[in-house]
Structure formats: structure tokens, C-alpha cells
Structure 1
Amino acid sequence: MKYLAMAAAAACGLATPVVAQDSASPRAEADDRLPDVLVTARRRAEDVQRVPAAIGVVGGVLLDRSYTVNTQGLTVLIPSLIYASANPRNTALTIRGLGSSVVAVSQANDGLEPGVGFYVDQVYHARPATAAFDFADVERVEELRGPQGTLFGKNTTAGAINVTSRPPSFTREGFAELSYGDLDFVQAKGWVSGPLSDDIAYRVSAVSTRRDGVLANVRTGRAANTLGTQAVKAQLLVKPDDAIELRLIADVTNFQAYCCTQVYLRTGTSLRAGSRQFGGAQGLAAQFGYAPPSTDPYARVTDIDGPLGVDTNEGGANAIADWNLGFATLTSVTAWRFWNWDAENDRDYTGLPIQQSQHIPSRQDQYSQELRLASNGDGALRYVVGLYGFRQRIVGRPISIYGPAAARYLIGTVTGTTPVPANLLDGYGQDGRTDFRTRSYAGFGEVNWRLLPRLTATGGLRYTHETKRGDYATYTFGGPALTGSAAQVTALRNAQLGVLRGQTYSASDRDGSLSGRGNLAWQVSDAVLAYASFARGFKSGGINMSGLPLDAANRPALAAAVVRPERNTTWETGLKTSLFDRRLVVNVDGYWTKVRDFQATVVDTGPTQTAALRGYLSNIPRVEVRGVEADAAALVLPGLTLRAAFAYADGRYADYPAGPCPIELQSATTTACNLSGRRLASLPRLAVTAGIDYAQPIGSGAAFVHVDTASRSGVNGDPGLSRFTYIRGYNLTNANIGYRFADGIEVAVFARNLLDADYTQNVTVQAGNSGLVLGTPSDPRTIGMTLRFVG
């Protein structure tokens, strides 16, 4: 109840919203009411206050004013959105705690389909990694909460992030921005747009970001976790007449950085022998005479000795064609996208030569085609019907090589009665190939029927048919020649295989399912909308593409090559209000979600698993989340807008009798633990965001202040719910202050993490289950200056 009270106080006292108005624009500052916020959540432009659904909207001006250039930055503005990323490939998005497991290995499994759909310009991005990249020129971002599918191309069970780029303009215009700050942070972005002829317009936009590392490597003298991204987008808009419009888009994004590693967070304990744990007088650290460079994670110090680096790029092209037929508009969305990934990590996260190299270079190609027919006008009966096709292929090469300290650290000095040579794992490694393919076809539709002048019923259905196939093959190589008796050679070989062994398997899955939603909306008055809805979501089965636990055959309840489909049922009710001639907007919703066979990535803790902890897909029988959300915006005075929002959520493993064990309960015989009734990992009970925009005319221009702040309660960062992987709550505040000249030039001073808050972004249990827990600390405070020009 104390969290509900905090949430209510935040909503009322701060005067709210995440309905992120473009209140920072010069025109909005002069208006005496909040501007309308248009969204395309139902595949037609509508005022968000007229859409009976829980939607968070962040407009392009607010994105610019808040220095938000990627999905991670959105979490400061939208409380129900969680973004976790150990590196771009291992990225996960959740809405209301659902989507994908938010752990360091969450998206390393290419066979896992995300529960939160990520769309850019109506195109579904199959890998969440693309959400880690910067976007260059955005008109708005919509967060759609709950199952989607009756209107969107790819079916998703938890929600969707819908990013819309600014379109080409037939009026010449441009924008340029250059920022410089601490840690040699440099960011440049801009765009130009205008006509090429009477019926063709263009737009070219770009963003480039670089920053020195935030983690000091005392071994190499080189700072880790740098930033280095570049993105370019080019568009053409062809409009020969009022009935036909064709938009062609091509983009490419590159990410190269000395990234991404973690630092010492704490040492846990398990039920294993003391000599096989990291801490203690007889522990592994003592055996090697090793101590972390710092036990304070916010000293931001590491001593990793292995190679580190990320080299990845993604991009594609799409064509959006709209043909106004009079009674309806026919839309075609054709797209191809690619993603190349390569990164190398020191997965033991220490200065000991345990694991010399690990990386999984991979390539994804996806093709999609969507056809939609949407009725025109505002008649009593409106509809959207469509067909969707999607094909995807991901080819990978998992590589892992161990070093001279690996045998002592991961196996010990003896296996059974056979002494273990110190170099038993030196040069021992794994190579392989993976090949994952998906084909998905769907038909969907939604009808809005105005039963009475102010009462509208909505019904939507979707049928999805998907086939998936995965081929996984790895083999081991290297290591010293094994000597001794036949029994000793066998024991040593088994010790090597207990750390890492080759696997070969193929698996396929075929699913067909009907999903949909129903909604009843009552326009109580011109200023008040009430609604209630019911939705069923479906996510097809997944295939484990990171290998299975070494004893998976003995534990079918925990691991299988194919995991079952996920089915989501959500009930929701809400109220949207626009008060005092739209000077105050307040929206509230409540929901209850049940997920059957929730697909999650868990980490192996089986009895024979002595070395690399393996993340693999599994089904959680039932997960439930219920909560309340609210957002608001208030135009208090001309030029002064307040925003705030909160999300209260109670998420639980309603039925999880065979879950992963917390590290403190792991031993040589532990196989599974009952987590039923425990809180859902990585979902804060309370998240609150707030902001202020204030502009005051001074001279021929205007001075302005912008502040964003976000607070989240503590969570457990690992699905095993160990007390050693708990992440404390935190607050993050960003701000900027500046002056906007009449000629369009703007000068500002900005601060990211203004209060220099120390908090942990995500946690990892070290491979080998030694009890060593690593974490990614928050970025330190960054102060800098920005010069903008709008023409």
C-alpha cells in the first residue's frame, strides 16, 4: 500500500505526464492550451486522447530537448518501459515487466522472439539489438502497452515500440546540432529536407556519437565501454497526386566501440565446496592470490586481460505506398533489413587468464511484406484489414577459447582421484555454426462500430501461422595432449567436456494460433473518454540456439530444444481526460495480465555444470502482472509545462515449480528450485517519471529550462532471484538550460545524471558459478554544451 500512496502522490502532486507533449516548441510556448498529440496506433492519425488504449507518446521536440537519441533514453520519459543491455546484442525490452528476460544473456539466444515489438517506420525489427542503436530524425515514439497484432504486422504479446521518422517536406528546412561534454563526448546530428520537383521531396538525416570509456582498465591503461555510433537515413517522398503517395527509405547504422564489460559488484556464496567459490580463505581468489582492482563498483575500475570490442552494423530499405481509393486507403509496406554482429568479451571479467576469448559473429537478413486496407472518414463503421508475411535467417558462429588459469579455476587440482594438469584447458575451445530460419504469415483485422453517438465497440482478430527451424553444431578443439593411464586420460577428457563440449542438434516448430481483442469505449463528454478492453496475445514457440545444458537429456522439465508458444491474456480499463480547455491532461489505466508458458532465458545450474553458465530458453508455466498507470501534462502558465507519470506493478511467478536456483542454493546436486509466488525479476514495483519545460521571452529570443527525472524501486536482476543479484532503486535526473535566438540559433548547457547518482544497470553471475557477481555501473555525471540551428 505504501507504493500505491507514493504513486498517487506523484501523479497528483507533480501534475503529471508521459503523454509527452511537444511543449518545448516556440509555438507551443505561446499557446494557452496543450497541443493535440497525434498517434497512428490504430493505423490512422488520431488524437491520443480519443484512442481507447494505454499509450505513452514522446514527440520529436521533446526527444531533441531531452537529448534522447535511442531507446535507452526513453526509459527516463516512460515509466512502464524497461531497457536492459549488457551490449547491443544482449538487449532486452520489457513493458509492464513482460517481453523478454532482462538478464545479461537475455537476447544472446537467436531462437527467442521478442515479446515487445520494435517498429521503425512501420517495419518490424526482429532482433532487439537494433533498438540499441541511435535514431537520427524522429517525429514521435509511441509505446503501446499490452498484446498487439490486430493492427500491427508482427504479433507481439507484451506491447510495441512504434518509432516514426519525420517525413520529407516540400518546404526547404534544416536542422544541425553539435554537442561536446565530459569524457570527450561529441555528438553531431542534423537533417535537411526539401523539394526535388513539384511531386518529389527528399530528406537526409544523420547522427554521430563518440565518448571515451567510463571504466578504467588498470591492466591495459585503456578505458573501456566507449561509445562510437554513426547513423544515416535517406528518404524520398513521391506524390504525383492527392490519391497516391510513395515513401522510400534507406538507412544504415554502425557501432564500433571498446565495449562492453562489467565490474566487480559483490561476492555471493553457494553450497559448493569452499575451494570452488570465489571468496573465502580457501576460495578461488585466495588460491590465485588475486583481488579485484576495487570492490566499489562505482569506482568504475576493471582489470580484464582478454580482448574487448564491438563491431556491428545494421540497416535496410523499405517502401511505403498509400493509395487513397476514396472509401478506404490501401497501404503496402515492403522491407528488407540486415544485421551484422561481432564482438569479443572477457567473459570471466577478471585479470586472471581464464577465458581468453568469446564471441559469436552472426548475420541476420529479414524480409517482410504487409498489405492493409483502412477505411476513410469517421463513419459509424470503420475497419482495418491486412495480410502480413515475414522471413528471417540468422547464421552464427559461436567461438570460445580458454586460457592457462582455466583448469585450476573451473575444475580444480583433481577430478575424482586423477590430478588435473594446470594447462588442461589452455587453448581448449569451441567453434561451430548455427542457422536459424523463420517464416511467418498472418491475416488480421479490426472493426470499430459506433453503437451509439458516444459508445463504440471494437473487435479484432488475427490468425498467425509460423514455422521455425534451427540447426546447431559445435565442436571442441585444442588443449594439451592427454597422458597417463587409459582411466586417467578418460577422466581428464571428461573434465574438459564438463567445462565445454560440442553439441549437434536440429529442431523445428510449427504453430498456428488465433488471437484478438475486444474493446468498449464511452466518450462520456468531449473531455472524458472511458474504456474497457480484453486482449489475447500469442507468441510462437522458440528454438534454443545457444546450446543446451550439458545434461539436458536428464532434465526435460528445464530444458528442451523447442520451447512452447507463449499466450497472453490481458484485461484493462482506463480513463482519459482533457480538462480546463486542455490545459490539463490526465490519463489513468489499470490492467491484469496472465501469461501461460512465458518464454524466458534462464541460466543453467545443473549438477554437471562446472564451467560456463549457459543461457537457454525455457517456459515458465504461468506469470501474472497487475498494476496501475497514470500520466499527465499541465500547462501551468504560458511557457511552463509540467509532466509526470507513474507505473505501479505487481508481477509474480504464479506457477514456476522448476525454476533456476539462486546461487546461494546451488550445489553439485541442485537441479531446480520452486519459485512459485515469488516476484518477477527485473520489474520494479514502482517507477515514476517527471519533467518540466519552461521558456521565458528575453530580448528578441527566449531563455529555457528543461528537466527530466526518473525513479525506480529495487528489483532482482536475475531470474533465480538470488539475494546477491538484487539491484537497489535509484533516481536519474537530466537537465539543460539555454537561450534560443530569434534567428533559430540555440545555445544550451546540459547535464546527464545531474545528481551524479550511483546505481547498477544490470548484473551477471560469473561463468563457472563461483559466486562472483558482476554489474554494469551507471554512467557518471556528464556536463557539456550544445549549439543548435533550425532553419
Structure 2
Amino acid sequence: MLGNTRLAGALLASTTLIITPAFGTDLDAAEPQTSVGTGASDAGEDILVTARRRDESSQDVPVAISVVGGDHVDATGSFNVGRLQQLTPTLQFYSSNPRNTAVNIRGLGVPFGLTNDGIEQGVGIYVDGVYNSRVASATFDFLDVAQIEVLRGPQGTLYGKNTTAGAINITTNQPTFDFAAKSEISVGNYAFKQAKAAVSGPLSDTLAARFALSSTSRRGTIYNTTSSQWIQGQDNLGLRGQLLWKPTDRLNVTVTGDYSTQDPSCCGTVYVRTAVTQRPANRQFAALAAAQGYAPASTNPFDRLTDLDGQLKAKNRIGGASVRVEWALGPGELTSITAWRFWNWDPSNDRDFTGLPIVTLSQNPSQQDQYTQELRYNYDQGDIGFVAGAFAFHQRIDTQGTEQQGSASTRWNISPTNALYNSNVLEGLTALNAVSLKNSSAALFGQLSWKVTPELTIQPGVRLNYDKKQGYYQRQVFDSSGNALLLNDSNIYSPAQSAQLAIYAPQEIAPRFSDWNFSYDFTTSYKLAPDVLVYATYARSFKSGGINLNGVPTDSTYHAIAAAETVKPETVNHYEAGIKTRFWARRATLNLAAFRTDIRNYQANVNNSQYGVLRGYLANAGAVRAQGLEGDFSIRPSARFNAYVNGAYTDATYRRFNDAPCPPELSGGSDSPGNCDISGAVLPGISKWSFSFGAEANVPAKLLGQQGEVFFGYDGSTRSHFSSNATPSQYAWIEGYDLHNFRAGFRTDGGFSLYGWVRNAFDEQYFEQLQVASGNTGLIAGSLGDLRTWGMTVRLEI
């Protein structure tokens, strides 16, 4: 039945292939929206966006953009970016824990896999204009959101930080000079509890304030038989306070402070399968486990059982403060955004993915601070408009890591034919890692908009960017007695030392990178009719070079390979064409886009068979190409019904990657190739087909003496299979899946609503990510998607 559902959804969506909002119109028809960014409530109303740093209709913006109104975010339970991807098919979100999170658009942005702090993210995440440099911010709950815009394609000539794949622009509700308040409480199975509240109003004639909070908790969905705990729970708290000073109609000053915390028992994996590698049979997972009398808690991953014996912790703290000044100066507006943000990350993981004490400690707590300053002037008069700005960014990261081998490590890593097999030579072997990064960049950017005729507009944009990264990585290694393991010039070591060096080799590198780059784009748009816009864009963009901060591979003498310390900048050539249309008296919207992105020196995240490189490292693939078609269709024939369908076809492949790491089935043997040519292979994490679709209907009703409406809503999504390894492997493909969410309830004209909901209604069993364990043992572990959840929400607005 699910296969038929996927086919039916694909056939429906393929007739209307993506670029703008299907959701901005999905709001309470009884509550006309007047504030910018909440979407249109009635047929024909514009959805206003700020994608080009000014308020304008999304249908007049020659950019591929999806818009999700705050009401739809709340109604569908899309309370973070992970949930948001179910509404926007071109957005991909993968997370094994908050730090190891990837947010990509059209399959591009950051390398799929373990995060490396030494590179930039290609998708910019902005909250009220403030750039968030770490994708960990994407794992937090949305807080008092007014609207979310997902822009696709390079955005460097308008946005503060250069972003080569797109941007997520989140706008929150702002302080008001009229009193307003809202609250929401949700409860559900698995002890789910969520509370949201916001209050806004005047403190004086020129000063207004707004305060918002959100709290989410839920029991875990995977049972750890070793610790007798449910893991993968939720424990989130978010707070935000804002002050608006408006001394005149031409000056606004907004001061914002926010703080969010997560402290779940997280993040673990389950056993999925074993791959057949080229290691000797007695050194593959089945034989290794049998030799120590071990069996996984379950060989069916959807039993949701694990037996991880390492400590699991994902303590996360993020917050900051900003000052935004908007000053109507002359014929335009000057905007200044000054911000400081911090992120403190305190994790513990089980990196061997088993219940055996192989790797008993794996933790890399990190402290990050960033400072940004953006200054821009926006002019829009008559036939000429422009945005000109400057952006400065500085980031400091300090990480202290500990990795330790346990009592099962020796027999797991040393052959039975080796005299050390029955020793404890690896037990207690400890690596202490010290990592730091100073990352600075500065840029000048601008975009001109010239209406050559009332129908024809051209928009050239430019950006001059400077980036500088200074990193340091040190790994010190100690045996169980606390003696330091050191490298020597003679490369002569005892058998015990050689065995230990094969696991952790001391390493000290200080990679550096700095460079200038010049980006530009050119867009032409033409109004074929008042409600028909066609456009074409070419963009030449760059993603800054990177440095490896998780350690790099070593040569035969255990010394770091210097050439692996840095990766080259990406060079991006992007082409796009689209059409935006409204018809049937603006009751229907159909938008289409076609794109192609060519990247030279693509920054790939690769895994190495050496145990000493547990966290993977960065390397340049020669060339990558992503191309595809996208479409959105939404319809609202009356205030009583609306529906949408969005679809995306994405073909993303390595055009040239001659020295990629080999998949597990080609690794581990004495004659195995050192690297593989995977030119033509698909990029990881990308489904060729993805769709989202939904509808909402309502009828007038009276309940408990209150006039309102009964409503029923549905939102679904489907995606085809995708690779979950940097190099495609027959063992690391994730099957496509469908998700279906329903809601039904009652709401009044006065702002009260009560409704029940069920998400993943048909209890689809699926993986979000598969991970290939180090050492070529063949073990494949997985992160599971959410199971069926249901509950009830009560909301009140005044």
C-alpha cells in the first residue's frame, strides 16, 4: 500500500513540478493576516518576503524560494529544520547528533557525514538577519516564528555570509505597541509535552517588548538494554526577549537576547547489517563478535533495541545577543546588525557502535563564539533599486577531546596469529585531542535592480570576499600506565608500540588558509503578464577553502600527511531558469524552475580505514554536478479549502573523483585498492525524486457557545532511495519512504483552537542515516526515523 501511495503522490506532483510557497496560503481563513511574513489568508493576497532585503511579493522575486508561514509550522508540528524538510522537498537534513548535522539544499551545502569545523557551510541559516555559523542551531526548536523562507541557489550578493547552496531565512514575531499574547500546550504519546508562549506590548510610547519561550520533552524511542534506558529523547528549552525602541517613524532599534538548551540521553545507533569486506574472514564482524561471545541486542533494527555500552550525552547550549538598527536615511534605509553568538557542546558517544568495550570513551566537548557585523543600505525608488553592504565575521572554536580503548579492543583489532592477541596491549590506550580554530572573513557585496521597461528587469550583483582560517590540532597518546607514546626518527618500534600506533598515532598540525575571491551573478526577469514572471540567473560563486581539524591520515611512518591538512576552495557555476504564475483570479499558483550547478574542487567528507582517523577528513573531489527540476502548485478556491503539492527531481553526481575512498565491499584486504574512481556516482544523501503534498478543509461550526470552524488537515511527503555513504556502497543505500500526518479540530474567530494530530500515521519504518564502522569489519549501524506519534494541542491567542 505504501508503494502505491508513493507512486500516486509522484504522479500527482510530477504534473506540477518547485519554487515558491505552497504553505504561506495555508492559514486560518478566519484570521486575516496583516503583518509581513505570515502569509496570505485569502485568495489573491500576496505573500510578502524579505529575500532581497526588502518587502515584496514572493511572486515578484526572481529567486527559487519556498515560504512556510508560522501558523503552518505550528499546525504541522514542524518545530525544527528536521521537521521542515518534510514540507520543502529540496531541503535535506541529516543528524546523528546536534554537532554532526548537515543541512543541504539541492544536495549541496556541507559534506554528508561527520562534521568538520574547518569548512564553511554552504547553506546560511539566518534568524532575524543574524547569521548562525554552525548547523547545530538547526536542531533547536523554532521559537515564536512568523515565517521561514528557504532560498535555493547562491545568495552571496545579498546575504551577509557567502552561501553557495542557499539560505534559510527565519523571521520571528517582533515586539508590538498593541498588547498581544498567545500560548500553546501539546501532549502526546511517548510522554511528549510541549509548551509555547509569547507576550508582547508597550512599555512606553516609544518602547515595546516581546518575550517568548518554548519547552519540549519526550521519552526516547530506542531502548538501550545495557543501560536500561530509553534513548533518543527530547529535552529542549528556548527563551527569547526583545526590546524595540522607536523614537521616530524613521528609526527602529531592536535589542534581542536568546538562550536555548538541549540535554537528552542521546545519540545512539542500532545494528543494521554486516557488509562483506575484503578482510580475512576471521577479521570480519561475525567472526570478531563470535570470538568474544558477543551478539547485538537485535539483528532487526526496527525492534528499536541497542546495547551501546559507552556513555551517551548530547548536552547543547546555544544563545547570544544582537542589536538591529533600521534607519530611514535619505531615499533609502540603512540597516546595521551587530551580533554575538555562542555554542557550548558537551557530548559523549559510542563510536564502535556495539555493546563491546572496544572504544569506551569518545567525547569532544567544544566551545564556540562568533561575532558578526553587517551594514547595508537599501534603495528602491522608481526604476532603480539596489542593496549595498559590508559584512564582517569572526569565530573562535576550542575543543578538548578524549578517546579511549577498552578491554575488548585488543582482540577486536589484532589478528589471532599475532602474539599480542591474548594481551591487553590496547586496553586503556588513550588519545587526548586539543583543537582550536580562528576563522575570520570580511566582504563587500551589492546588487542592482534596474527596470529597463515596466516588464523587463535586470539585476547584476557582486561580492568581494576575504577569508582566513588558522587551525591547530594536537593528539597526544598514552598507554594504560600513562606513558606517552611518541614517534621517533628511526621508525623502529616494539610490537606493542606498533599495535598501539595503528590505533592512535600522535599528531600535531597547524593548518592555515587565506584567500580572496570575487563572486558575481546576473538575473533577468520579464513580466509576460501581470501574474506571469519568467526569469533566468547565472551565478559565479566560491566556497572558502577549508582546513582539516579532526586529524588527517598518516603515512607508513605514522606521520601526518601534510597534503591532507587543507582543502581547496570550491568554484561554483550556477544556472537557473524559472516561471512564476498565478491564475483563476489568483486562487491558484504554479511555479516551475530548472537548475544546474557545476562545482570544481567539491569539498567531500571521506572516511579512512585507519582507526586513527575515526572521525573522517576532508578532501577535494575534482568536480560535482547537481541539476534538476522543481515545481510548486497551490490552490485555494475558497476560504474553506486549500491544497498544495511540491516536487523535485535532483540529479547530483561526482563528475570527477578519481581518488575517492573505496566502499566497504572493496576495502580491508592486502590487495584492496588504496582508492577508487567513483566518477559518475551519485552524491550521498540525495533522493532523485522527492515530493510533499497536503490539504486543509473547514466548515463553519459552533461549539461550547463559540462560533468557529471544524477543520481537517493532511500533510504528506515521499522520497526515493539515497546513498548514506560518501562513496556509494551496496550496503549503505537507504530505501525511499513515505510519511503521512493528519490533524483535525476546532478553532474560533477569537483565537482559540483545539485539535488532535497524528504524525507518521502509518508507522513507516525508515532510516535517516547509515554509518559504516571504522576498521573494515563490515558493521553497518543506523539512525532511525521517528515512529508514529499522536497527541492533542490547545492554543489561545489574544
Pair in the same fold by TM > 0.5: yes
Alpha-carbon separation, structure 2, partners of 1:515 and 1:556? 34
Residue in 2 that maps onto 1:639: 640
CA change 1:551–1:48 in 2 (3 A) is same
SS in 1 for 2:678: coil
Task: Please give the residue correspondences for 1:20-59 in structure 2 after superposition, counting only pairs within 5 Å.
Answer: 20-27=23-30, 33-59=43-69
Note closer, same or farther for the CA distance 1:487–1:712 as it changes in structure 2 (3 Å cut). closer
For 1:378-457, what aligned pairs fall within 5 Å after superposition?
379-415=382-418, 418-457=419-458
Alignment CA distance shift 1:247-1:406 (3 Å): same
1:422–1:666 Cα change, 3 Å: same
**Residue 713 of structure 2, aligned match among 706, 710, 713:** 706
Q: Which amino acid aligns with 1:685?
A: K
Structure 1 residue 297 and structure 2 residue 301: aligned?
yes
1:218 partner amino acid: T
Q: Matches of residues 92-241 of structure 1 in structure 2 within 5 Å?
A: 92-103=102-113, 105=114, 107=115, 109-241=116-248
Any conservation in 1 of the 2:16–2:646 contact (CA below 8 Å)?
no
More displaced stretch, 178-187 vs 736-745: 736-745
Aligned counterparts of 1:218 and 1:32: Cα–Cα separation in 2: 53
On the 8 A contact 2:758/2:790 being kept in 1, the answer is: yes
CA deviation vs aligned residue, 1:56-91 (integer Å, no higher than 9, x gap): 111111111111111111101100000000000000
CA–CA distance in 2 between the matches of 1:558 and 1:78? 41
Q: Distance in 2 between matches of 1:284 and 1:658?
A: 30
- How many angstroms does 1:144 deviate by? 0.8
C-alpha displacement at 1:611, in angstroms?
6.3
Partners of 2:147 and 2:171 within 8 A in 1: yes
Distance in structure 1 (CA, Å) of the matches to 2:729 and 2:320: 41
Root mean square deviation of aligned Cα: 2.3
- 1:272 Cα deviation from its structure 2 partner: 0.9
**Map of 1:664 onto structure 2:** 665
Deviations 1:363-418 (Å, cap 9, x if unpaired)? 110001011011033x1111000111100010001210111001111223344xx4
The within-5 A match list for 1:202-281 is: 202-279=209-286
Amino acid at match of 1:75: Q
**Residue type at the aligned position of 2:389:** G
Structure 2 CA distance for aligned equivalents of residues 762 and 559 of structure 1: 30
| Match 1:83 to one of 93, 102, 122 | 93
Matching residue within 327, 330, 333 for 1:329: 333
Deviation track 1:614-656 (CA, whole Å, cap 9, x = no partner) reads 3101111100011000012101333200011001011110000
Cα gap change, 1:62 to 1:552, in 2 (>3 Å)? farther
User: SS of 2:285's equivalent?
Assistant: coil
Partners of 1:390 and 1:381 in 2: how far apart?
30
Among 532, 548, 570, the alignment partner of 2:574 is 570
| 2:503 counterpart of 1:499 | yes
Match of 1:353 in 2: 357
Aligned partner of residue 731 in structure 2, secondary structure: helix
Aligned letter for 1:623? Answer: V
- Residue 119 of structure 2 contacts residue 544 of structure 2 at CA under 8 Å; is this kept in 1? no
Q: Which amino acid aligns with 1:222?
A: Q
Percent identity for Structure 1 against Structure 2: 39
| CA shift in 2, pair 1:557/1:480, >3 Å | closer
Give the one of 350, 354, 379 matched to 1:375. Answer: 379
Shift of 1:505: 0.9
Q: Is the 8 A contact 1:658 1:672 kept in 2?
A: yes
Give the AA of the match of 1:45: D
Deviation (angstroms), 1:217 = 1.1
CA contact (8 A) 1:17 1:642 kept: no
Residues 36 and 277 (structure 1), Cα distance of their counterparts in 2 relative to 1, 3 Å cut: same
Alpha-carbon distance change, 435 to 62 in structure 1, aligned in 2, over 3 angstroms = same
Could you tell me which amino acid in structure 2 is paired with residue 448 of structure 1?
S
Give 3-state SS (helix, strand or coil) of 2:665's partner.
helix
Task: Verify the 8 A CA contact 1:23 1:34 in the aligned structure 2.
Answer: no
1:788 aligns with 795
Secondary structure of the corresponding residue to residue 564 of structure 2: coil
Question: Does 735-744 or 536-545 show the bigger shift?
Answer: 735-744
Cα distance in 2 for partners of 1:192, 1:81 equals 32
Which residue number in structure 2 is paired with residue 775 of structure 1?
782
Please, which runs of 5 or more residues in structure 2 have no aligned partner? 33-39, 484-489
1:749 to 753, 756, 766: 756
Amino acid at match of 1:772: L
- In the alignment, the residues of structure 2 paired with residue 373 and residue 13 of structure 1 have an alpha-carbon distance, to the nearest angstrom, of 38
Q: Which residue matches 2:600? A: 596
Shift of residue 24 of structure 1?
Answer: 2.3
Kindly state the Cα deviation for residue 737 of structure 1 after the two structures are TM-superposed.
Answer: 0.8
Question: Which residue of 1 is the match for residue 35 of structure 2?
Answer: none
Deviations 1:1-32 (A, max 9, x none): x9999856415489997431242224368965
Q: Distance in 1 between matches of 2:417 and 2:424?
A: 13
The answer to whether residue 550 in structure 2 is matched with residue 540 in structure 1 is no
Q: Are residues 481 and 704 of structure 1, via their aligned partners in 2, closer, same or farther at CA, if it must alter by over 3 Å?
A: closer
CA offsets 1:275-317 (integer angstroms, 9 cap, x no match):
11102xxx11221221111111111100111111111101000
CA distance in 2, matches of 1:162, 1:252: 19
Q: Is the contact between residue 16 and residue 690 of structure 1 (CA under 8 Å) also seen in structure 2?
A: no
Gapped regions of structure 1 (runs ≥ 5): none
Residue 719 and residue 525 in structure 1: after superposition, are their counterparts in 2 closer, same or farther (change >3 A)? same
Letter in 2 for 1:672: N
1:527 aligned to 2:531? Answer: yes
Alignment partners' CA distance in 2, 1:85 and 1:152: 25
- How many angstroms apart in 1 are the aligned matches of 2:230 and 2:335? 49
Quote how far apart the aligned CAs of 1:767 are. Answer: 2.6
- In the TM superposition, residue 741 of structure 1 has moved relative to its aligned partner by 3.2
Contact 1:399 1:432 in 2 (8 A): yes
Query: Within 1, Cα distance between the matches of 2:710 and 2:12?
Result: 30
Contact 1:18/1:77 (CA < 8 Å) preserved in 2? Answer: no
- Letter paired with 1:78: T
Q: How many Å separate the matches in 2 of 1:471 and 1:140?
A: 40
Look up the match of 2:317: 313
Q: Deviations over 1:731-775 (max 9, x none)?
A: 111221111134432111111211110010001111322110001
Instruction: Work out the CA distance in 1 between the residues paired with 2:107 and 2:42.
Output: 38
Aligned residue number for residue 37 of structure 2: none
**Mapped contact 2:31–2:749 kept (Cα < 8 A):** no
Aligned: 1:766 with 2:767: no
Amino acid at match of 2:166: G
| 8 Å CA contact 2:491, 2:557 repeated in 1 | no
Matching residue of 1:67: 77
CA contact (8 A) 2:16 2:647 kept: no
Q: 1:513 aligns with which of 512, 517, 521?
A: 517
Letter of the 2:366 partner, please give it.
S
Paired residues for 1:617-632 under 5 Å: 617-632=618-633
Give distance in 1, aligned partners of 2:15 and 2:170: 29
Return the alpha-carbon distance in structure 2 between the equivalents of residues 331 and 488 of structure 1: 63
> What whole-Å deviation, never above 9, does each CA across 1:490-527 have from its counterpart, x for those lacking one?
11111111011221010111110000100100011111
Amino acid in structure 1 at the alignment position of 2:237: Q
Q: How far apart, CA to CA, are the structure 1 residues paired with 2:316 and 2:414?
A: 34
Contact 2:507 2:559 survives alignment (8 Å):
no
The aligned amino acid for 2:266 is C
Q: Helix, strand or coil for the counterpart of 1:675? A: coil
Partner of 1:721: 728
